[in-house]
Amino acid sequence: RAGEAIERITAGKRRALSRSASFLAHRHGWHDVPMRFDVVAVQWDEASGAAPEVRHVRGAFEASS
């Protein structure tokens, strides 16, 4: 299930993505620009023959300051 794929985005991964996004924003002068992260999770058990399950979560988390 796609829920399992989304659960693999740990707090540490969210922090690392937030830091990278903050660095990019600072470098390009994007001050006070709100940032959000969408997540697209794809869960696929090829052996089962089932179609991949795709889930898009808008605003899964926001960049921390």
Q: What is the pLDDT of residues 20-65, one digit of tens each?
A: 998 999 999 998 888 889 999 888 888 888 898 899 999 988 876 4
Count: domains in the chain: 1
The Cα 20–Cα 63 span in angstroms is 9
Question: Which pLDDT tens digit goes with each residue over 3-24?
Answer: 677 888 899 999 999 999 989 9
Query: Going by C-beta distance under 8 Å and a sequence separation of 6 or more, which residues neighbour residue 2?
Result: 41, 42, 43, 53, 54, 55
The whole-model pTM stands at: 0.69
Structure-token match 């794929």, residue found: 5
Q: Which domain holds residue 8?
A: 2-62
Does the pLDDT value for residue 2 go beyond 70?
no
